[in-house]
Amino acid sequence: MEEQNKTQSTENQQQINNQAPIPPQKNKSGLMFILFLVIALLVVVTWLYIDQRQTTEKIETALTEEKDSLQSHLLQLRDDYDELMTDNDSLNAHLVGEKEKIDDLLAEIKTVKATNYSKIKQLQNELGTLRTVAKSYVRQIDSLNTMNLALVAENVLVKNEIKVAKTVNVELEEKNKNLSGKVELASALTTENLDAVPLNKRGKATSRINKITKIKIDFQIKANVLAEAGERDIFVRIAGPDDYILAKSEDDLFEYEGQEVVYSAKRPVDYINKNLDVVIYWDNNGALLTGTYEVYVFADGNEIGNTQFIIE
């Protein structure tokens, strides 16, 4: 019996030894999987951070280039305005105002951060408006230049007309010398004692340019029994040292040798074939220059007298 108990005890001990715990392989695999997920998540987060940073840097670079380009275009537009300056004071005042707007934008853009997209977009819109305005001024200046060229051409024509008129007068004077002592048969009016005098505000003669308020042209239309009696207009043309005609308006025209030419002043008279004293005034409009002035008197489409005066 005792031997049997020992045997039974030995078998029980072996069974206990055979039931010893086995290391948890399953738990170890779970930990490895979790660790792998954490590492993968860190890699994804790191990649996203780097990609986002690169994208942000690209956007900042692009906006900086936009800002620099905007500033460059504003500077170029300001230079363009410098080239648009003209002799027209009113137009120049507007051009100066536009240049001041550009200067304000240039000062403002220096304070704008490159990342401020909405502000840069606003400044770009204002640049577009300034460009549109600049184009309108270019068209105005081109129009003015065209008008100036037309005026120059007209004054060249007037100068040529005066030369032609002088040539005609020389020829007439030669004919008159040959007809000296005979009855004057020509029906055209003529003048004598033609004089042109600059006056100050007191009506006194002066040659000082800063004192002149008007030019007095006085003469006598000679009696001519063959001339047609009645009312007619007497025209005066005053040519400055630069050969420009002093005129109040480019619409003040009369016909001479088949063409419409501008006059400085006119006066209606009633001619009854007798000597007629005539005085005509031209009011100074600020267009006077120093130098010698030519004065021409016209009636019935003919030049009937000329004289000179000098302004100092």
Q: Which pLDDT does position 7 carry in this prediction? A: 53
pLDDT band of 181, cuts 50, 70, 90 = very low
Residue 135 lies in a domain: no
Question: Could you give the number of structural domains in the chain?
Answer: 2
The CATH number assigned to the domain holding 195 equals 2.60.40.10
Residue 206 lies in a domain: yes
Residue 106 lies in a domain: yes
Q: Which of 95, 120, 145 is the last residue in one of the domains?
A: 120
What is the pTM assigned to this prediction?
Answer: 0.43
User: Could you list the residue range(s) of the whole structural domain that residue 293 is in?
Assistant: 183-311
Q: Which pLDDT does position 265 carry in this prediction? A: 95
Is residue 282 pLDDT above 90, yes or no?
Answer: yes
Q: Which pLDDT does position 74 carry in this prediction? A: 72
Is residue 33 pLDDT above 60, yes or no?
Answer: yes
Is residue 19 pLDDT above 60, yes or no?
Answer: no
pLDDT band of 183, cuts 50, 70, 90 = very low
What type of residue is 53? R
Distance CA 31, CA 130 (A): 68
Specify whether 110 is located in the same domain as 215.
Answer: no
Specify whether 307 is located in the same domain as 205.
Answer: yes
Residue 161 lies in a domain: no
Specify whether 201 is located in the same domain as 83.
Answer: no
Residue 212 lies in a domain: yes
Specify whether 199 is located in the same domain as 305.
Answer: yes
Residue 162 lies in a domain: no
B/e letters for 206-228, b = 16+ CB within 10 Å, e = fewer, are beeeeebeebbbebebbebeebe
Which of residues 146 and 107 earns the better pLDDT score? Answer: 107
Kindly give, in sequence order, each residue whose CB lies less than 8 Å from that of residue 160, ignoring residues fewer than 6 positions away.
Answer: none
Specify whether 210 is located in the same domain as 98.
Answer: no
Residue 229 lies in a domain: yes
Residue 199 lies in a domain: yes
pLDDT band of 27, cuts 50, 70, 90 = low
Q: Which pLDDT does position 12 carry in this prediction? A: 54
Specify whether 207 is located in the same domain as 104.
Answer: no
pLDDT tens digits for range 235-273 = 999 999 999 999 988 899 999 988 999 999 999 999 999
Q: Which of 71, 88, 120 is the last residue in one of the domains?
A: 120
Q: Which of 120, 146, 163 is the last residue in one of the domains?
A: 120
Which of residues 229 and 25 earns the better pLDDT score? Answer: 229
Specify whether 103 is located in the same domain as 195.
Answer: no
Q: Stretch 4-12: mean pLDDT, rounded?
A: 54
Cα angle 161-233-215, degrees, rounded to a multiple of 5: 70
Which of residues 200 and 103 earns the better pLDDT score? Answer: 200
Q: Which pLDDT does position 234 carry in this prediction? A: 96
